[in-house]
Structure 1
Amino acid sequence: MRIRTTVAVVSGALALSAFAAPAAQADDSAGDTKISNVVVNGGKAVVVDATKAKKVTLTFTATDNSGIAWAHPILYRGASIEKSETGALADSSDGRAKCTKVDATKSTCKATFTLKQRDNLINSVAGTWKVWIVAAAKDDDYMEKENAKSFSVQRASKLTVDASPEPVKKGKTITVTGKLSRANWETGKYAGYSAQSVKLQFRKKSSSTYTTVKTIKSNSTGNLKTTVKASVDGYFRYSFAGTSTTPAVNAAGDFVDVK
């Protein structure tokens, strides 16, 4: 059965961090085996900080008229499984998902993966990842999907703000500083995120809604600085909309008392 060789080769390549041309094809199948309802991390982006490894759960459904024998999923980053830049095997001893029989033809499957800094995570692999799955039936039918699902793996972000002076006279200048940073998976620290558009927002003391005052860009070290005129008591914050590699984040509001 060709698919068993494929699984062994792909798994071995990922386990050894050697991603040179496993014998997988884009998609392949025999018989009536189907894979559906693929969900990674509850449908949310996978956000990983600078030091703590991240556990990621994958769930999916596999069906075949003879019942499902086993399923083997892999998470990977790259144009294809053959050209993977990095990847993650399921945490089970054999790399397979745990499949639970629902009825004679359908099983629900679950696998947990560990994404770890300086292991399968370096800064350059943040962005879109894919799920490779093969499901095998009891009658030797199977389905292999190279991109059963796409999902985001992102470098965790932080954003600060400081508005001064406090208090300030009405009409005087307020200087608002801050910093946008994100996890560096290679150093285990947070580093400034440069050249990013960040909104300065304000809400009056009596309001629960922030409005955008202006948009500025972070400098080469991720620092932010701008000025505004004092008008009424309220809170200033910076707001970052996020990118494909870094999640959105808002700074906690900093209150300014206007006299």
Structure 2
Amino acid sequence: MEVLILPDRERAATLAARIIARELRADPGLVLGLATGRTMERVYARLADLHAREGLDFSRCTTFNLDEYIGIPADHPGSYRRYMDERLFGPVDIPRARTHLPDGMAPDLAAACRDYEARIRDAGGIGLQLLGLGSDGHIGFNEPLSALRSRTREKALTPATLAQNAEMFGGDPDRVPRRALTMGVGTILDSRRCLMLVTGETKADILARAVEGPITAMVTASALQLHPCCQVVVDEEAAARLQGTDYYRWILAHEPEWASDRDLLA
């Protein structure tokens, strides 16, 4: 795991977008795993800008989102399908048929989960998985005590998650669906590369537990410590509780892989 500390959330989002863009340029048929939430909005805005200004090509890539709520249609203002259509899929040139989210309206949710896993396998597996970090340490909707080998499945959401996601439902946690479909922790760990973006002081404590604490099902993001190729991009506020900051800063300043990104450190 590499932890890359940037001065602020804007530059952290820029680095995350650059990493995705480089992977996409190297492999136009890349299979991308995508996440939602306010942190990701800056990343998608930068990717849309790279498409508009530099012709970043999404036409041959395939995407799989981490999760979707159960019981709301795709055109609902709070659905993740609508979120993705408005923030990334619409502004770039990716064919809709290449974009995939779990089907929270499926009559047989268990079958829909098995189908989602099969579609990921048929696409050749996820090459790069973008992740956020929940306030209780979850990735996707893998709430505390989710099995670290879990696959795509139905999950009940915790009160903390409902409160965190209430903004898309008029600020009222009672309006947030109580259940969702999510990729499992095991599904995420199968990705060839993981990229987690974490910003803001409210995430400092849980980030430290996820990155430097014990691997535990109580903090499902801690399972990323087991991944052979995982970058965690953070801003100074989120990094405030980390113990290894001197080493993390040295890596970003000296590793050849990040030479083209050192302009973001100023």
TM-score, length-scaled by structure 1: 0.21
Q: Select the structure of larger CA radius of gyration.
A: 1
TM-score, length-scaled by structure 2: 0.21
Q: Which has the higher contact order (CA 8 A, sep 6+)?
A: 2
Structure (1/2) with the larger strand percentage: 1
Structure (1/2) with the larger helix percentage: 2
